[in-house]
Structure 1
Amino acid sequence: MDHRLRCFGTTPKTHFLCSLIFFFFFFSFSNAAFDLATIPFNDGYSSLFGGSNVVRTADGNGVNLLLDRYTGSGFISSNMYRYGFFSANIKLPSNYTAGVCVAFYTSNGDVFQKSHDELDFEFLGNIAGKPWHFQTNLYGNGSTNRGREERYRLWFDPTKEYHRYSILWTAKNVIFYIDEVPIREVLRNDEMGADYPSKAMSLYTTIWDASNWATSGGRFKVNYKYAPFKAEFKDLILKGCPVNPIQEVSDSKACIDQHVDLEAQDYATMTPMRRRAMHNFRKHFMYYSYCFDTLRYPTQMPECIIIPEEQERFMENGRSIFVGKHRRQAKRKSRTKTPLDIINKGSM
């Protein structure tokens, strides 16, 4: 008999204890904040679209993006970067947010329309009383037909207070962070070829109407009775070497020192503690991964590192076998969810 503590497939008491330990581990880990220098909005960004729906904060250090029945909104970094660290404290809209998508991502689609690169967080709204979900993705050289998305739940309510979301992009790897907790790492290898993002990108942040797919596959649409929907951003961070995408080869030579400095930063190192935190997050909160979707990708993507303990929790369509269980538990819940509730009995 296996006497190791397991968090799934055992008694509710055991599951609760595992989740409780996991919660306090995450809480203490996320308080070990990175030493980061923020910049005022006007020093690194400009409005992308939305006109008056892009609202700068009074102190100049943040911005609110609004979505109403007329338009969404967004902002963009003033420069393009080849590798960097991109980060912001974000608070998402509350109440009924079905169909709303808030995106925090890097891209060069405006310059390389048929061969763009992209790294993204996409936060997907929900009906009232249901939690936000989110997904991460990676594209290189226009490889949109080979989506590398993963989808997750959160262990907190992202509408109550700010949380930090970050993307590290180097020549070696990509790491997505939430509150200094790594949730996904993609290691570059030769087999990926041009699928690994390698051209200079800008940082984009947008809020928009994604009614046709964002919530339950488009079943629930944006309800403008609850507009305007407001996403709040502050403590903005851009660390990287600005480059001209047309003269990228010569510019990249001038950025060698900055690249070395970037890879030497604390957040660029995947320590054993961070790897354990990432494993725990993925174990409890990831409910879809393209790496396990053998129906969509019979031949595994070259960067996928399959951990047997993770694989056994997913079906051949890449979905977690616990999705249905989470939904049934959510229907039985009547009181307001807390971050600890989401960890213990997260609803899908």
Structure 2
Amino acid sequence: MNDPLSKTTVCISLLLLLLLPPLSAASPPQIISFQKGFTQLFGGNTNLLRSDDGNTVHLHLNQYTGAGFRSSNMYNHGLFSARIKLPSEYTAGIVVAFYTSNGDVFEKTHDELDFEFLGNIKGKPWRFQTNLYGNGSTSRGREERYTLWFDPSKSYHRYTILWTSSKIIFYIDEVPIREILRSPEMGSDFPSKPMALYATIWDASTWATNGGKYKVNYKYAPFVTEMTDLVLHGCISNPIQDLVTDTCMQMDQQLETIQYNNITRKQKSAMKRFREKYMYYSYCYDTLRYPVPPPECVIDPLLRQQFKETGRPRRHHRHSRKGLSSQMYDDIEDED
């Protein structure tokens, strides 16, 4: 199917079908236009451009500034999602971030859930990392880094963060890539305060590519990332109020029971394959930083054998992206 509109329609339909809630009192997840759900952070009229229908936003980075926006409201748990297309060609030093945070309200005790896409020199693939912080636990970063089975600059792909009172799941398209289950031992390290959704593109030359070896080259500017079909689904909350309303309790129950929250056996197999093939750093296997793995870590014996004490693979296999996208989905369909 080569028609972009058809692909968009199918992707949206699949997402909304997966997210249909069993509770009739709560509305199903919906695509939210920029005007209805978001506000600009920085970038001005030149670096943040919106489509006429408000469903697509282009974020530009040039030698003067980057761009960013955030949701107009904060949410007590929720599902946050967008279809994203990243810049192409030379992208070293660039970071595109899609994340939730409450750092503007709780500076010293903030919570955060991240997708961070890390640019690269021409001819080298984009990489990305996921991370979570709870209650200001920035000294206990829980980052994992990965490559992708496709070129994220060629077409849109959907990236999703699901955050409930019991778990956090990161998705790419319909493939779950990381799941964190809340445990009593995590305590306040599990994000628990209302958060807003953010999206930014910015110059991170000091660290993003090979530890800062390669900088942003503005000869290739502007660098443009496109975000479309944004989904915000959660209970709008006042971060200062400790009281959880009945509506928010009902929404939390819905988030715990929607199909997107319940990973199928086929999806678990796809997640396991993704982590075995494309994860090239995990804090759970970094025994230099954490001699005792943090309590949420579930140690996979196979991955334990593959990773060194630095949390990096003993031997990092390079995978051609050609055909891997369809292979990933075919594997899901072919398994019993």
Q: Could you say which TM-score interval applies, normalised by the shorter chain?
A: 0.7 to 0.9
Look up the match of 2:64.
70
Structure 2 unmatched runs, 5+:
1-10, 17-28, 328-336
Whether 2:48 is the aligned partner of 1:45: answer no
Taking structure 1 as the reference length, the TM-score comes to: 0.84
Secondary structure of the 1:254 match is helix
Q: Quick check: 2:134–2:191 contact (8 Å CA) kept in 1?
A: yes
1:258 Cα deviation from its structure 2 partner = 1.0
Q: Is the Cα–Cα contact under 8 Å of residues 148 and 321 in structure 2 kept in the other structure?
A: no
Distance verdict in 2 for CA 1:252–1:274, change over 3 Å:
farther
Which residue of 1 is the match for residue 334 of structure 2?
Answer: none
Matched with 2:270 is 277
Cα deviation 1:281-314 (Å, max 9, x = unaligned): 1011001000000011112100000010111110
Cα pair 1:157 1:339 within 8 Å, conserved: no
Q: Which residue of 9, 21, 33 maps to 2:14?
A: 33
Q: Distance in 1 between matches of 2:213 and 2:144?
A: 20
Aligned partner letter, 1:33: L
Confirm or deny that 1:340 pairs with 2:323.
yes
Report the equivalent of 2:208: 214
SS for the counterpart of 2:14 is coil
**Cα distance in 2 between the residues matched to 1:227 and 1:259:** 43
**Counterparts in 2 of 1:1-348, with a 5 A limit?**
33-35=14-16, 37-52=30-45, 53-247=47-241, 249-323=242-316, 325-326=317-318, 338-340=321-323
Distance 1:341 1:45 in 2: 34
Would the aligned equivalents of 2:84 and 2:157 in 1 still touch at CA under 8 Å?
yes
| 1:144-171 deviation line (CA, Å, top 9, x unaligned) | 0000000000000000000000000000
Deviates more, 1:77-86 or 1:271-280: 271-280
- Taking the aligned partners of 1:165 and 1:220, their CA distance within structure 2 comes to 26
Maintained 8 Å contact 1:132/1:153 = yes
**Residues 179-225 of structure 1: per-residue CA shift (max 9 Å, x gap):** 01000000000000010000000000000000000001100000000
Gaps of 5+ in 1: 1-29, 330-336
SS of 1:259's equivalent in the other structure is helix
Distance 1:213 1:252, change over 3 A: farther
Note if contact 1:212-1:221 (Cα within 8 Å) is conserved in structure 2: yes
Instruction: Give CA-to-partner distance per residue, 1:250-300, whole Å, 9 cap, x none.
Output: 244431111111112110112211111110110110010000000111121
Cα distance in 2 for residues equivalent to 1:190 and 1:218? 38
Deviations 1:73-107 (A, max 9, x none): 10000000010000000000000000000000000
Contact 1:244 1:251 in 2 (8 A): no
1:118 CA displacement: 0.2
Identity, in percent, stands at 60
- Give the distance between the partners of 2:207 and 2:252, measured in 1 at CA: 37
Quickly say closer, same or farther: Cα 1:238–1:317, change in 2 above 3 A: same
Aligned letter for 2:147?
A: R
Structure 2 residue aligned with 1:332: none
SS where residue 183 of structure 1 aligns?
strand
CA gap of 1:291–1:343, structure 2 versus 1, over 3 A, is farther
- CA separation in 2, counterparts of 1:246 and 1:98? 39
Q: Is residue 33–residue 179 contact of structure 1 (8 Å, CA) maintained in 2?
A: no
Tell me the secondary structure at the aligned position of residue 243 of structure 2: helix
Q: 1:309 to 1:65 in 2, by over 3 A?
A: same
Deviation, structure 1 residue 322: 2.1
| Alignment CA distance shift 1:57-1:219 (3 Å) | same
Measure how far apart 1:341 and its partner are.
Answer: 7.1
- Equivalent residue number for residue 25 of structure 1: none
Contact 1:154-1:342 within 8 A present in 2 as well? no
